[in-house]
Chains A and B, each alone.
Chain A
Amino acid sequence: MADFDAIVVGSGMSGGWSAKELCERGLKVLVLERGNEIVPERDYVDQMPPWEQSNLDRISEDEVAAHYYKQFPGVSYAVKESNKHFWVKDDEHPYETAAGTEYDWLRGYHTAGRSIMWSRQTYRMGPQDFEANKKEGIAVDWPIRNEDIDPWYDHVEKFAGIAGNRDGLPQLPDGQFQPGFELTCAEKEFKSRVEAAFPGRKVIQARVAHITAVTAEQRELGRSNCQSRNRCHFGCTFKAYFSSLNATLPAAERTGNYTIVHNAIVQSLQYDEVSRQISGVQVIDAETRETRFYSCRVLFLNASAMASALILLQSKSTAFPNGLANSSDQVGRNLMDHVSGAGASGLISGFENKTIFGRRPGGIYIPRYANITEHDKPYMRGFGYQGSATPLGNVGGQIAGIGREFKQAHGAAGPWRVSISAFGEQLPNPNNTVTLHPSKRDQWGNPLAVFNVGYGENERIMQVEAGKDSVAMLKAAGCTEISSRTVTLTKPGNRIHEMGSARMGRDPATSVLNGWCQAHDVPNLFVTDGAFMTSSACQNPSLSYMAFTARAAHYAADLLAENAI
């Protein structure tokens, strides 16, 4: 008799969904979280007004140099003095990169992981994203198509709460939306001018995982509507945005089937040579260093795309000398992120006597048009833009003037600024890897991760073109003082859309997982974080992790019910 029906490794974006769906199917579930417990009432700092923050909420430069030398430069917009407990200390969780390469591994080790600090943009993948690899002969074919995942997007959207507009775009399918955040007057003008000048492009509301018309189910979980405070990176007392801690973990808990253990760092997954399945998980306590073993009937790996691959590589056995479920040698390969760097900003006139009220969570989104409605591109795939058009204001002090007018410039008549930034698809490349360091270990005895990731020509060319397109659109919209950036690609990992390290595919010889996120080699092993992604598309991926996780969890529960695993 196993200790638990299911063990879920990780309590973040996808782990919370594994826990919820498996618990709701009546299974006894153990969630292993490597970090400490976050208690919203104690640890959220979203209610702190500006004047209670010390030093403009900046972490001191010496402390950044000692503890946050990767996290802070990587996510400076969200790593603050008041919420630094949501980010790992780099000196406590080191990693290495191959000579001549860089990698931003930006993390939070605690209950709900990075689902507490994410930026909450949520888009479905479209039919083209599942078909592209096969059509273009890139990597391997996705083993499923859009219609397979479509109902599961519905399933997770209804529960999570997604605010957005139904735009009717085939490449960015609509979903189960709550009312979106209306475009500003300048954004509406920008939209009409851009769409007139470029008939194949659309400017739409950003779709975000925020509740705007709370449902009975969401209310039961203590959640309520978004209050437009823009304090999301600090937790949310209203539980208005989706996180594991605000939504899925409480839903799992109320079933009575849920157990979570914190400070439980996985050392290995134990493989039983007789049953040819995983028998359980060996963990070490982060604080006491005590080691423990938990047995289970099915295992869901949701440690994050990078950490899940590392756990598989650490789990060596006679049957799998190169890491569990790694007969294809694809575990830890094909690392993907999204790539940014291109964008532009400029002033848009005509709205000097208007302003905005409230601080909404998202702005505008320009869905991918490259190689969808426009086919003249010197690169494959495409990118979307995130952006906004809002009053320039005066908070940063970077406008001309002194005295009374300067002081009152915030909220006074003045120019508006349009800004857009590209997020591009990264093609899978088997030579983009994460591996185990041959000798160096962390303080718990686990091998350090070594990243060897770079961009290809397609990503580079695409960003340069995205930069030109951004300027062209701002020009077409009549913007002035347009500043375009010199396109410097973001470091791999920097967009925190980690993907691909245990990809899905049809053939066990060339992929790790089948179309259900189930390991080809080990039937009771499921990997449903970003590791399963066969290609990256260009949409923010969290919604896809949620949908694939829910689908896999129900499939696994069916298999358990049939005693098939």
Chain B
Amino acid sequence: MKTRREVLQGLIVSIGGASMLAACDNAARVAVSNSQSLRFFSDQELALVSRISDLLLPRTDTPGALDVNVPGFIDGLMAEWANTRSQESQHRQLTELGHMLGADFVTAADAESTLRELDRAAFSGGTGYGGYRALKGLITQSYFATEEGALLEQHWVAVPGRWDPCVDI
């Protein structure tokens, strides 16, 4: 497995084609190719989304958001699923979010505490955080829609076979 730093660098300069990802070839998930293959994000947007993804869903004993190329997944989703209006809105929200987090957020050593503070404000009734909450939702849903996220973290079972309404954790 690549180090998180390598994966992040690979994503920032370049990204595996999202359609390849959607074609569910595991090996392609962290494929590195050239930056022309970005279909929606600018390089700056990709860097921002990658940093946030990594802070939200870091590698633990299970793969993190970058290990399963969540930013590439979202790049493809925004290119294929979103219409022009949603695309423009997403670009705008990322710009706003970038301003809120600060110019050096992507490389800052204290990025984690910056994001934590913003997250706390966004989930304690603060207004003006719609863009962040939407992106957080998208990152999380995308992560759990990968094989690793679904199986290793969400413990998704294809055929539960039974219903247990009350299980001790």
Q: Does A26 contact B (CB under 8 A)?
A: no
- Total interface residues on A, CB under 8 Å, equals 50
Which of chain B's residues has its CB closest to A360's CB? B163
How far apart are the CA atoms of A18 and B146 in the complex, in Å? 44
B118 to chain A, nearest CB (A): 9
- Most chain B beta-carbon contacts within 10 A, residue among A51, A183, A403: A51
Contact indicator A51/B166 (Cβ below 8 Å): no
- Interface flags for A164-187 (1: CB within 8 Å of B; 0: not) read 000000000000000001111101
Q: Does A411 contact B (CB under 8 A)?
A: yes
B136 to chain A, nearest CB (A): 5
Contact indicator B140/A397 (Cβ below 8 Å): yes
Contact indicator B80/A354 (Cβ below 8 Å): no
- Most chain B beta-carbon contacts within 10 A, residue among A227, A229, A357, A402: A402
How far apart are the CA atoms of A396 and B168 in the complex, in Å? 23
- Total interface residues on B, CB under 8 Å, equals 55
B5 to chain A, nearest CB (A): 17
B128 to chain A, nearest CB (A): 16
Q: Does A359 contact B (CB under 8 A)?
A: yes
Contact indicator B112/A403 (Cβ below 8 Å): yes
Contact indicator A397/B154 (Cβ below 8 Å): no
Q: Does B101 contact A (CB under 8 A)?
A: no
Which of chain A's residues has its CB closest to B161's CB? A227
Contact indicator A410/B153 (Cβ below 8 Å): yes
| Listed stretches A55-63, A137-145, A274-282; interface member | A55-63
Point out the residue from A47, A58, A228, A353 that lies within 8 Å of B81, measured CB to CB: A58
Which residues of A have CB within 8 Å of B64? 407
How far apart are the CA atoms of A286 and B159 in the complex, in Å? 38
Q: A400 with B141: in contact, given A49-B158, A229-B159 (CB under 8 Å)?
A: no
Q: Does B2 contact A (CB under 8 A)?
A: no
Contact indicator B163/A399 (Cβ below 8 Å): no
Contact indicator B124/A403 (Cβ below 8 Å): no
Contact indicator A358/B150 (Cβ below 8 Å): no
Which of chain A's residues has its CB closest to B22's CB? A54
Q: A357 with B159: in contact, given A397-B137, A407-B56 (CB under 8 Å)?
A: no
Which of chain A's residues has its CB closest to B155's CB? A411
Which of chain B's residues has its CB closest to A52's CB? B24
Which of chain B's residues has its CB closest to A225's CB? B161
List 16 additional A-B contacts (Cβ < 8 Å) besides A354-B167, A402-B112: A49-B147, A52-B24, A58-B77, A60-B80, A61-B81, A182-B165, A353-B168, A357-B162, A358-B160, A358-B163, A358-B164, A397-B138, A397-B139, A400-B119, A406-B56, A412-B169
- A-B pairs, top 8 by smallest CB distance, nearest first, are A397-B140, A400-B123, A358-B160, A61-B83, A185-B166, A357-B164, A358-B163, A397-B137
The residues of A with any CB-CB pair to B shorter than 8 Å are: 47, 49-56, 58-62, 65, 181-185, 187, 227-229, 353-360, 394-404, 406-408, 410-413
Q: What are some 10 contacts across the A-B interface (CB < 8 A)? A: A50-B145, A50-B150, A52-B24, A55-B80, A56-B141, A61-B85, A227-B161, A400-B122, A402-B56, A402-B115
